[in-house]
Structure 1
Amino acid sequence: MIAADLGTGRPLVLVHGFSVDHRLLRALEPVLEPTGWRRIYIDLPWTEGGLNRDLTSSQAVADALVEALQDHLGEEPFAILGNSFGGMLARHVAHEMGEQVLGLATLAAVFVADSSERRLPAKRVLHDDPAVLEEAGEAREDFEEVSVIRTPAMLEAFLTHSYPGIRTADKRVMAAISKSYALDAVPEQAHGDPFDKPALHVFGRQDHVAGFEDGLAWQEHYVRGTFAVLDGAGHNAHLEQPTLVGALLTDWLHRMGDSQSDRR
């Protein structure tokens, strides 16, 4: 399940979303590498390097992730970042592992498991270029489905960071997990006390997959949370708005450092 463990310093765990692999979040390396945090990238069960392809529910994946982190980190404090489905898992980990967690960040996270119950904006493409879609080749359908900004640079980012995981994903494993996609309990409800560590929740204003309104509903729970809805961003917000996402992540990492200084 540990796909890569890079650098030294305090650990930052990164959990990707459904149908992709850890390479989607490796796009954040130019921002994260200079910060001095150790980056631990997770591969979930449908990936080529994922642990235990026999897991058949989101709760089983969440439990396996907690166990893997306990084995890999012991009692060492860490921060966690999750994207999409990985955002749902990261929220579970952050609440379940309590005081060991330094902070939580999500990017285009799933806050409502049942897609029919999500409050979603209409699908909208802000920049379209038929030539870019033609250039996408076999990746066209997947790129067209998720992209809000269809430029050569965005296609390159998609082909580099997203499509390799999509192309190699084990559809059998994903189908099994999809049948039991919801966690046993909403993390914020299962652990009723407010989450008082530095938090960051980034949403795409044009994200028609996970939306943003359901996440914003938890602002009172995250008492040290920054909530940002980015225009010109869909479900791959960190690819479409890398400068803004990078600035927000840098601020979040700094806030965790400030919190640790306050406790000494």
Structure 2
Amino acid sequence: MHSVEFGAGTPVLVIHGFCVDHRLLLGLDPVFDAHGQWRRVYVDLPGMGQTAAGPEIDSTDAVANAVVSFTRETFGDAEFAILGNSFGGMIARHLVAEFGDQVLGVALLCPVVLADHGSRAVPQRTVIRTNPALMATLDPLDAADYEAMSVVQSPGNWSRFRDAALPGLRIFDPAAIERISKNYALREEPEGRFAAFQGPTLILAGRQDHVVGFQDQIALANSYPQSTIVVLDQAGHNAHLDQPVLTAALVKDWLTRVKAWKKSSNVSKT
């Protein structure tokens, strides 16, 4: 699996969503860089970014297994944290079930909770503020992709979407995505594999997220008792792009809690 790595210290695996690549989450890197020593590993999931996907990548389970193998090869027995967005949030939950106490903490940004789109509790698609002048300047294909996800259209919001989301949207493998989509649900729900994850958790959702919603994410917190649950207004499925300042503050708080958890865990082991 292709990955991009920065820094040194406590490992953290950063997992993007569906049909994009690691660049979707690079805007969060300054938060890691400014708050402690973190070895940040940003992956490209199979069939996305620069990671190829052979015919064996035919389901979300296959993607999850590839990430599990990558994680073992990359971190070994070291404790690590996870940040997952959307589809990557579903993979992150799988890793919590797979690695257990080796996971120091997990941040879930607009995570997929229910794989079946029809079963999700989602709000009606809403654009709070349009910007026709901006949209008229964009390439039609870019404009269509941006319009499908934007909640508040502005030059700043567009530039974040352009730099973070569009690159991955232009290079994913359509055949691999089709195979995975046909078997999109994990064979076993991660939370059914553990009683409760005790590590520091952040669950962040967008109030206007019409893709995965926010109600299922709030309910997910029952399995993560040490969780901060936030629903951001004026934020859709790319909440970290729509509300970057608030997201950065929440990720900073999560990192602080993870560091404290690691320290207390190491003390208890001695």
Classify the TM-score, shorter chain: over 0.9
Per the alignment, residue 188 of structure 1 pairs with 191
Residue 46, structure 1, aligned to residue 47, structure 2: yes
Alignment-derived partner of residue 84 in structure 2: 82
| Counterpart position of 2:100 | 98
Q: Is the 8 A contact 2:22 2:49 kept in 1?
A: no
Q: Which residue of 1 aligns with 2:163?
A: 160
Percentage of identical aligned residues: 43
**Are the counterparts in 2 of residues 136 and 143 from structure 1 also a CA contact under 8 Å?**
no
Using the TM superposition, give the Cα deviation of residue 109 of structure 1 relative to its aligned residue in structure 2, in angstroms: 0.6
- Paired AA for residue 190 in structure 1: R
Structure 1 length as normaliser, TM-score? 0.97
Q: Does 1:212 align with 2:219?
A: no
**Higher mean displacement: 108-117 or 1-10:** 1-10
Q: Is the 8 A contact 1:15 1:90 kept in 2?
A: yes
Q: Would you say the 8 A contact 2:32–2:38 is kept in 1?
A: yes
RMSD over equivalenced CA pairs, Å: 1.1
* 1:27 shift after superposition: 1.2
What residue is the counterpart of 1:171 in the other structure? Answer: 174
Report the AA paired with residue 60 of structure 1.
Answer: A
Runs (5+) with no aligned partner, structure 2: none
CA contact (8 A) 1:17 1:87 kept: yes
Work out the CA distance in 2 between the residues paired with 1:45 and 1:64. 8
What displacement does 1:38 show? 1.0
Aligned residue pairs total 263
- 8 Å CA contact 1:43, 1:51 repeated in 2: no
SS at match of 1:238: helix
Q: Distance in 2 between matches of 1:219 and 1:72?
A: 28
In the other structure, the counterpart of 1:199 is: 201
Q: Residue type of the partner of 1:169?
A: F
Q: How has the CA–CA distance of structure 1 residues 48 and 252 changed in structure 2, closer, same or farther, with 3 Å as cutoff?
A: closer
CA deviation string 1:5-53 (max 9, x = no partner):
1110001100000010000000111212222211100101122411543
| Distance across 2 between alignment mates of 1:8 and 1:159 | 29
Distance in 1, matches of 2:29 and 2:262, equals: 23
Provide runs of 4+ in structure 1 moved above 3 Å: none
| Structure 2 length-normalised TM | 0.95
SS of residue matched to 2:170? helix
Q: Distance in 1 between matches of 2:14 and 2:144?
A: 27
Q: Partners in 2 of 1:46 and 1:160 — Cα distance?
A: 20
CA distance in 2 between counterparts of 1:172 and 1:118 reads 25
Deviation at 1:219, TM superposition (A): 2.3
Partner of 1:24: 24
Does the 8 Å contact 1:199/1:252 carry over to 2? yes
After superposition, what is the alpha-carbon deviation per residue over 1:103-139, rounded to whole angstroms, capped at 9, x for unaligned? 0111011000010110000111111101121222131
Q: Distance in 2 between matches of 1:173 and 1:219?
A: 31
Which deviations, in whole Å up to 9, do the C-alpha atoms of 1:211-238 show, x marking residues without a partner? 0111111222111011100001000000
Q: Is the 8 A contact 2:207 2:236 kept in 1?
A: yes
Matched, 1:221 2:247: no
